[in-house]
Amino acid sequence: MKGLEKYEAKILIAWGEAISGNKKIRSWLVKNGYPELSVFCYALCNQDDARQWLMDNNFPHLMALINGIERNEQALNWLGSNGFHLLRNMAMAADGSEASMDWLQNMHPVFGIIAGKMYTIKKQIDDDNYDPHKINF
């Protein structure tokens, strides 16, 4: 579980709720010493300053997770070659890989739930980006 081993189950559950949009829990994460998990939520939603914060504050693995969700092969390869196999599977599951989601649900169910929440956010963003009614001309 390289990259996520320091987090207790309750923190991971809170992270999942924060990913789903719970702003109170996002604030709670910051106040309780987990700003990276809160910032991740903003970075997942394409906020550039949040993405830069992850890189500047020694969380490249979390940024690689987001890039992997966005089908960046270089990020997926980096996660794999640096031993972040769980994060790599989370990225692929959040991008729709059924095999990765099955693996997570069988081996690390909490991370399967979190990847499912990431998938939902990614799908919302993609739907918004490709909705012809929302395109600015």
Query: Do 92 and 68 meet the contact criterion of CB atoms below 8 Å apart?
Result: yes
Predicted confidence at residue 126, as pLDDT, reads 72
Q: Which two tokens stand for residue 94?
A: 């959040």
Q: Which two tokens stand for residue 49?
A: 């300053």
Residue 68 banded pLDDT, cuts 50, 70, 90: very high
Q: Which of 3, 25, 9 is nearest to 113 (CA)?
A: 9
Predicted confidence at residue 87, as pLDDT, reads 98
Residue-wise pLDDT for 87-126, tens only, equals: 999 999 999 999 999 999 999 999 999 999 999 999 888 7
Residue-wise pLDDT for 25-64, tens only, equals: 999 999 999 999 999 999 999 999 999 999 999 999 999 9
Residue 133 banded pLDDT, cuts 50, 70, 90: low
* pTM for this predicted structure: 0.90
Report the 3 state secondary structure along the chain.
Answer: CCCCCCCCHHHHHHHHHHHCCCHHHHHHHHHCCCHHHHHHHHHHCCCHHHHHHHHHCCCHHHHHHHHHHCCCHHHHHHHHHCCCHHHHHHHHHHCCCHHHHHHHHHHCHHHHHHHHHHHHHHHHHHHHHHCCCCCCC
Predicted confidence at residue 92, as pLDDT, reads 98
Q: Give buried/exposed letters for 66-104 (b at 16+ CB in 10 A, else e).
A: bbbbbeeeebbebbeeeebebbbbbbbbbbebeebbebb
Q: Which two tokens stand for residue 50?
A: 């949040």
